[in-house]
Structures are given as structure tokens and as C-alpha cells.
Amino acid sequence: MKGFTLVEVLISIFLFAITAVGVGAALSQGLVLIHDARDLTLAQAALQEELAVLRTTTDPSDHSPRENAPFIGEIDALTDIQGEGRLTIAPLKNSKLLEVNVSVHWMDRSHQETSVAVSTLLGGANAP
């Protein structure tokens, strides 16, 4: 007798199906991770861009606080992740420094809120 038995064919189909499902799941998860990494990179770029703008335009002698000021309209990268950026500037007590908090919030592919934030101090040449 030549050929394969029905049991051999069914076992090989079963093994192929399990392998195909595993490869498909790995590819799907990889695509999700790539998309999430892209979003995080865009959010970090938006933060860095906003901090660079603040460093060049903020007058260190202006100690007026800003609470949760949106800046999404100023950063093109945020439109790609459909998120929002928030900026908080507060003067430090007994100092000429400003504490700056910049954050970006967006919904990821699984509809969970994701965020990234950066805090720094800004001051002029006459800062202590």
C-alpha cells in the first residue's frame, strides 16, 4: 500500500492548524506592539518639542503659573495619536526657577488611556 492513512493526514492538518494559529497570534501581537511604540515615540517627541519651545520662549522673570494649559494645537505629532497635551508651569518658592510639567494622554488601540510625562526646571542666567 502506498500513500498516507486518514489518521496521518488528520494529525498533520491538526499540527499545521496549531502552528498557523500561533504564527498568526504572534504577528498580530507584533503589529500591536509596533503601533504602541510608534504612539509612545510620537508622544515623547511632542513632549520634547514643547519643552524646547518653552526653553526658548519662556521669560524666567515671568512667574505666573499656568495650570493644565493645553498645547495640542501647537504640536503636529499629537494629531497622529489623537491625544492631548497638558502643560503646568509653577514657580518654586524662594527661587527664580520654574517647575514645568508636560504630559501627553491618548487612547491606545485597546481603548485604554495611556500617558507619558516629563518634568523639568527652567530658569534664566540669573537663577540661583
Q: Which pLDDT score is estimated for 68? A: 58
> Looking at residues 28-32, what average pLDDT do you find?
92
Q: Which pLDDT score is estimated for 74? A: 44
Whether 96 contacts 127, CB under 8 Å? yes
- Residue 108's closest CA among 82, 126, 84? 82
What's the predicted TM-score (pTM) here? 0.62
The residue with greater pLDDT, 7 or 125, is: 7
Q: Which pLDDT score is estimated for 14? A: 97
Q: Which pLDDT score is estimated for 57? A: 74
Phi/psi of residue 122, each to 5°? -120, 145
